[in-house]
Amino acid sequence: MTPIPLDTLNAASAQDFVAALADIFEHSPWAAEAVASARPFGSVAALRDAMVAAVRAAGPERQRALLAAHPDLAGKAARAGDLTASSTAEQASAGLDRLSEDEYAAFHRLNDAYRGKHGIPFIVCVRRHTKASILRQFERRLASDSAAEHETALAEVFRIAALRLDQTIQAPDRLPLAGRLSTHVLDTHGGTPARGIPVTLYELGPGEARRVVATAVTNHDGRTDAPLIGGRPVPIGTYELVFTVAAYFAGRGVPLADPPFLDAVPLRFAVAEAEGHYHVPLLVTPWSFSTYRGS
Amino acid sequence: MTPIPLDTLNAASAQDFVAALADIFEHSPWAAEAVASARPFGSVAALRDAMVAAVRAAGPERQRALLAAHPDLAGKAARAGDLTASSTAEQASAGLDRLSEDEYAAFHRLNDAYRGKHGIPFIVCVRRHTKASILRQFERRLASDSAAEHETALAEVFRIAALRLDQTIQAPDRLPLAGRLSTHVLDTHGGTPARGIPVTLYELGPGEARRVVATAVTNHDGRTDAPLIGGRPVPIGTYELVFTVAAYFAGRGVPLADPPFLDAVPLRFAVAEAEGHYHVPLLVTPWSFSTYRGS
Amino acid sequence: MTPIPLDTLNAASAQDFVAALADIFEHSPWAAEAVASARPFGSVAALRDAMVAAVRAAGPERQRALLAAHPDLAGKAARAGDLTASSTAEQASAGLDRLSEDEYAAFHRLNDAYRGKHGIPFIVCVRRHTKASILRQFERRLASDSAAEHETALAEVFRIAALRLDQTIQAPDRLPLAGRLSTHVLDTHGGTPARGIPVTLYELGPGEARRVVATAVTNHDGRTDAPLIGGRPVPIGTYELVFTVAAYFAGRGVPLADPPFLDAVPLRFAVAEAEGHYHVPLLVTPWSFSTYRGS
Amino acid sequence: MTPIPLDTLNAASAQDFVAALADIFEHSPWAAEAVASARPFGSVAALRDAMVAAVRAAGPERQRALLAAHPDLAGKAARAGDLTASSTAEQASAGLDRLSEDEYAAFHRLNDAYRGKHGIPFIVCVRRHTKASILRQFERRLASDSAAEHETALAEVFRIAALRLDQTIQAPDRLPLAGRLSTHVLDTHGGTPARGIPVTLYELGPGEARRVVATAVTNHDGRTDAPLIGGRPVPIGTYELVFTVAAYFAGRGVPLADPPFLDAVPLRFAVAEAEGHYHVPLLVTPWSFSTYRGS
């Protein structure tokens, strides 16, 4: 979907404006209707603020209807293909479209329990989470009280809306929604950035599961040409960066043990702030390594 | 099996002496017979040297018969329970008694290929290896020439004999057969050894396989009460030490991210010298860690 | 002075016993007299406790006399040679016998100010301090109130007495008065302890002053054969350990920059607990190093 | 001195052109004369290359006269104020204008010995060196043979000329003459860049001498707003970066020992490539620190 310039939206008919933003809030075009007459907006941030204010002003009844309009996570509607395009893409981003039968059943149970207790579907801004952290959220929020959950659910709806706006509209500003995950390999044996090191970033599952999120090879400065994750939230969860170092040292003529003391070097860490900058470097010799959260 | 004091062996009848040491060399009591009249031995090292010299002096024919007396690794004899007690225990130490059908077939193929090319069974001192390094040895030695393999096989037989002597006899001296794998956790956030950290040592692969070799909890000095591996060779192969650190820091009142940046911290490394001392410490804060081959 | 066996003291006449311990408390043989009839003592700790209890029981008048019997630090009596042998050796241990004229004048002023405010000489267990930390103590305790200072002075007197007893008597037990300062050099370029590294330990002065406390060369295990400071308190203060590493790496055939990026590597740190164990290792390559408080 | 635009030089009369560049080569306007008719030059690099080629083409006699036109380092002409403005500034950059009498005498002896052996003054591009590395160069080149020294001296003259051109002319290009020395402080106790850390860069002398080269305070990203040395060669020599960390940790509420284990943290290292990029970061907790040559 090509982003629409903000100027175009500002100049469009009210009808076209609402049509373009009908699903910023799930199945709730009224939020766009409420702000159409406040155009023009100077920035996507101003538009977002106006839409959020409209939802805040709409009162508990309409808010509850908005919340109720959200589909279950990994629910029957998702399986049946009855989601908005945004919801479909979002749920896929966290792997909710390819659950095992056991996981599907677990989500089903949690959805029912949550809806039974709080009277609304469980809503979370999926693009900020991994499957494991969604399940953790689920359990925590199931234990929370319903008034607090109403507020939490609204806050998540606003996060979802902001990310959808950011993808839908081309504007002079970007919303501060993106985190970053980057790395850097320093060869402290040779006193130089390590070039040509293969790097794989895994997202760790629940259980033993892991899936590849990104692969790269370090450049002449020991960095990857692009961040491993950038331009979007870094999903909250646990990761492993795996660097393959023995061939690099062998290629520099360094005598190694057989098998080499270090070869595949995993660094395991968790992301807690989806909008944070996580720099996770590797300082490495054939006999030692270290890492830290850098900047 | 209770070790027999060296003095007892020195004082025994030649018949009893040979009976006690009949399988130091697999199915080859003649090695013990050859040295019975050279008693008394002042140390297990002297006895080992005498038996090795006897095998060296016995000439190619008898050596070839000795090599041929060895069972296939993970072979039919092992499956049928037809090994010496020593061989059975040795093969179990590397997990060769619990192979998958695929692995069993792979060993079968390699055994046949090796025997077909070199005319002797593939012999390796299994207690010095993991399954993965045995397979690596297998492939290398299959590519070697047969004269070199005869020598390599004898050297492995002498290693096996030494380990069997060391377990069979109680003597004033120990043969230098043992390596050591140890760790130490320093909390560089608090400037103190880290007490109460759970540690698990895994042996890795082939493939994704891993099995627990040892578990421990660090004591007040940040060490484990006993080495993770000690008093025996450290099998050549790849390992992962996994430390669980978040609960430790939380217990000291340190504010942590949610989820904590570091919790399960894996250190992956390989052992190349089965008789070496591998000290693999962890220096850790909630935001950084490092390791190195220490001493 | 050869230590006297505790048994000898237990068996001696009361007169000889008191003579031997007359100066455990400065110019105050009455503390020894008070416990002579409580002999035999099973340990030096028991003797120390008895003497401390005697001083505690002696009441404020006698305690004040005991405190008043102490010489000024770096005072006229010291210059004139009028101290007990113990006091002379103690003051020398912190370099108070070789002050510049300015330092001597500073001590003189502080002594007078302290005595003027608190009515007692400034007493500190000098063997637990460097010149710089004595001056820091001086300023803090000058600002304290006199009742607290009476208590603090007594506590210091008991520390002095314990160290004197420990040096005077040969007993089955040692008092827990000794700290330790040690190091260890790991070559994380080669994955081995670094042998043959020259190490110098400096005590840092006030200002730019520094003096050599110990020199050593690392052995095959990367350690010094003896702790840099051991068997006595580690004087509270600031230190610098300087390691010379370039010749070591050059000797192993490692290509180095000219001049080498690292050669003399200083590690500066402070000791706060005179009875603590300070292990300050160096992990080093030609291009990196790290240290930490170890154990 | 305001740099002259290259366009202005290209358009000037030959006389003005030569006047402006008369001392690019010390007291040798003929090098500028030789290239005046080759104008216009598209870049300062093209001008530099043309002047160097002119000197190369001038033959041994004129080259020797050019070398002979250089003043002694820290010599009588310098003391008498008889140097070109460029030479005066250059010698001051390495502290040669403020030598002790002993140092002055040492330079005098070396100058005489060098001139006596090689028949030319000792010439070195002073802006690329510290006093200590100039003395080291002096001794090495004194031992060299005279033909090699003629070449080495010319190469140094070309370096001097390039730096003078770079300062004299404002052009679209810069000559690749600048190195960089930078730092970065990571607080691995808190998992954050360390803001507000005072940093002092010292150049280490011969002997105990040290002088402050730069001071800075780290910003919110743990870096200094500008490189500690940038836009010019990093003089070859030994440096110490000193970071003051205890107040930073105390300000974050971290409990510290008294005195703190770490406060002034010196990192000592040497620069070997004046045009290199030296990034020397500090990773620090109250109980540990590390550094490495970064990028």
Compare CB distances from D295 to A221, A293, A295 and report the shortest one's residue: A221
Q: What is the mean pLDDT of residues C42-48?
A: 96
CA C40 to chain centre: 30
Indicate the length of chain B as a whole number.
Answer: 295
C194 contacts in chain A (CB < 8 Å): none
Q: Rounded to an integer, what distance in angstroms lies between the CA atom of residue B290 and that of residue A267?
A: 10
**What pLDDT is recorded for position C290?**
98
**What pLDDT is recorded for position B194?**
98
Compare CB distances from C287 to A191, A261, A286 and report the shortest one's residue: A191
Of A222, A127, A245, the residue nearest A179 (C-alpha): A127
- Tell me which residues of chain C have a C-beta less than 8 Å from any C-beta of chain B: 186, 188, 191-193, 221-222, 283, 290, 292-295
In eight-state DSSP terms, residue A243 is E
User: Does domain C179-290 correspond to CATH entry 2.30.40.10?
Assistant: no
- Please judge whether B295 and C192 are an interchain contact, meaning their C-beta atoms are less than 8 angstroms apart: yes
B188 contacts in chain D (CB < 8 Å): 188, 285, 287-288
**What pLDDT is recorded for position D82?**
79
Q: What is the pLDDT of residues C60-94, one digit of tens each?
A: 999 999 999 998 888 877 778 778 888 888 888 88
Token pair belonging to D104: 């002055």
Q: How many CB atoms lie within 10 A of CB D3?
A: 12
Token pair belonging to C240: 């610098």
Percent of chain A with pLDDT over 70: 100
Residues of chain D with pLDDT under 50: none
- Please judge whether C295 and B188 are an interchain contact, meaning their C-beta atoms are less than 8 angstroms apart: no
Q: Neighbouring chains of D at 3+ CB pairs within 8 Å?
A: A, B, C
What DSSP string describes C195-263?
-S-EEEEEEE-STT-EEEEEEEE--TTSB-SS-SEEEE---BEEEEEEEE-HHHHHHTT----SS-S-S
Q: Rounded to an integer, what distance in angstroms lies between the CA atom of residue D18 and that of residue D21?
A: 5
Q: What is the pLDDT of residues C167-176, one digit of tens each?
A: 999 998 888 8
**What pLDDT is recorded for position D74?**
83
- Tell me which residues of chain D have a C-beta less than 8 Å from any C-beta of chain C: 133, 136, 236-238, 240, 257-266, 268-270, 272-273, 283, 287-293
Of C62, C235, C78, C98, the residue nearest C159 (C-alpha): C235
- Please judge whether D288 and C293 are an interchain contact, meaning their C-beta atoms are less than 8 angstroms apart: yes
Contact between D155 and D252 under an 8 Å Cβ cutoff? The reply is no
Compare CB distances from C191 to A188, A286, A290 and report the shortest one's residue: A286
Percent of chain C with pLDDT over 70: 100
Interface-testing mutation among C185, C186, C189, C245, with chain A (most A C-beta atoms within 10 A): C189
Interface-testing mutation among B275, B279, B289, B295, with chain A (most A C-beta atoms within 10 A): B289
Q: Which residues pair with C5 in a beta bridge?
A: C170
A191 contacts in chain D (CB < 8 Å): 292-293
Amino acid at C137: Q
**What pLDDT is recorded for position B152?**
97
- Please judge whether D186 and A292 are an interchain contact, meaning their C-beta atoms are less than 8 angstroms apart: yes
Interface-testing mutation among C285, C290, C291, with chain A (most A C-beta atoms within 10 A): C285
Q: What is the pLDDT of residues A152-195, one digit of tens each?
A: 999 999 999 999 999 999 998 888 899 999 999 999 999 999 99
Write down the H helix ranges in chain A: 6-11, 14-20, 30-33, 44-57, 59-68, 76-80, 85-93, 101-118, 131-142, 146-168, 246-251
Q: What is the mean pLDDT of residues A242-266?
A: 97
Determine which helix (DSSP H) or strand (DSSP E) holds A218, and give its type and residue range.
none
Q: What is the pLDDT of residues A121-156, one digit of tens each?
A: 999 999 999 999 999 999 999 999 999 999 999 999
pLDDT of A1 strictly over 80 = no
A236 contacts in chain B (CB < 8 Å): 259
**What pLDDT is recorded for position B98?**
85
C186 contacts in chain B (CB < 8 Å): 292, 294-295
DSSP, collapsed to helix, strand or coil, labels residue C279 as strand
Q: Neighbouring chains of A at 3+ CB pairs within 8 Å?
A: B, C, D
Indicate the length of chain D as a whole number.
Answer: 295
Using alpha carbons only, how large is chain D's radius of gyration in Å?
23
pLDDT of C14 strictly over 80 = yes
How many Cβ contacts (< 8 angstroms) between chains A and B?
75
Q: What is the mean pLDDT of residues C224-246?
A: 97
Q: What is the mean pLDDT of residues C259-267?
A: 98
**What pLDDT is recorded for position C192?**
97
Q: What are phi and psi of C193, to 5 degrees?
A: -60, 145
pLDDT of C129 strictly over 90 = yes
pLDDT band for position C267 (cuts 50, 70, 90)? very high
Of A240, D142, A86, the residue nearest B265 (C-alpha): A240
Q: How many CB atoms lie within 10 A of CB C62?
A: 15
pLDDT band for position A97 (cuts 50, 70, 90)? confident
- Please, what is the angle between helix C44-57 and helix C59-68, to 10°? 110
pLDDT of A83 strictly over 90 = no
Q: Neighbouring chains of B at 3+ CB pairs within 8 Å?
A: A, C, D
Amino acid at D237: G
Token pair belonging to D269: 């290292």
CA distance C246 to chain D (A): 11
Q: What is the mean pLDDT of residues A108-118?
A: 94
Q: What are phi and psi of C172, to 5 degrees?
A: -65, -25
**What pLDDT is recorded for position C25?**
95
- Please judge whether D295 and A186 are an interchain contact, meaning their C-beta atoms are less than 8 angstroms apart: yes
Q: What is the pLDDT of residues A43-52, one digit of tens each?
A: 999 999 999 9
Q: Rounded to an integer, what distance in angstroms lies between the CA atom of residue D289 and that of residue C291?
A: 6
Q: Quote the ipTM score.
A: 0.93
What DSSP string describes B215-260?
EEE--TTSB-SS-SEEEE---BEEEEEEEE-HHHHHHTT----SS-
Omega prior to B40 cis, within 30 of 0: yes
Q: Order of strands, edge to edge, in the sheet holding B277-279? A: B229-232, B179-182, B277-279
**What pLDDT is recorded for position A82?**
79
A186 contacts in chain D (CB < 8 Å): 292, 294-295
Determine the topology of domain D4-170 in CATH. UraD-like (1.10.3330)
Q: Rounded to an integer, what distance in angstroms lies between the CA atom of residue C165 and that of residue A2?
A: 87
- Tell me which residues of chain B have a C-beta less than 8 Å from any C-beta of chain D: 188-191, 257, 261, 283, 285-288, 290
Interface-testing mutation among C195, C218, C293, with chain B (most B C-beta atoms within 10 A): C293
CA distance B271 to chain C (A): 13
**What pLDDT is recorded for position B158?**
97
Q: Rounded to an integer, what distance in angstroms lies between the CA atom of residue A176 and that of residue A43?
A: 13
Kindly list the domain boundaries of chain A, sorted by start residue.
4-170, 179-290
**What pLDDT is recorded for position D212?**
95
Residues of chain B with pLDDT under 50: none
How many Cβ contacts (< 8 angstroms) between chains C and D?
77
CA distance A237 to chain B (A): 7
Q: Rounded to an integer, what distance in angstroms lies between the CA atom of residue D68 and that of residue D66?
A: 5
Using alpha carbons only, how large is chain C's radius of gyration in Å?
23
- Please judge whether D294 and A186 are an interchain contact, meaning their C-beta atoms are less than 8 angstroms apart: yes
- Please, what is the angle between helix B44-57 and helix B59-68, to 10°? 110
Compare CB distances from A257 to B261, B272, B291 and report the shortest one's residue: B272
CA distance B257 to chain A (A): 6
Compare CB distances from A260 to B258, B270, B290 and report the shortest one's residue: B270
Place of tokens 């008092």: C175
**What pLDDT is recorded for position C260?**
98
The pairing of strands D277-279 and D179-182 is: parallel
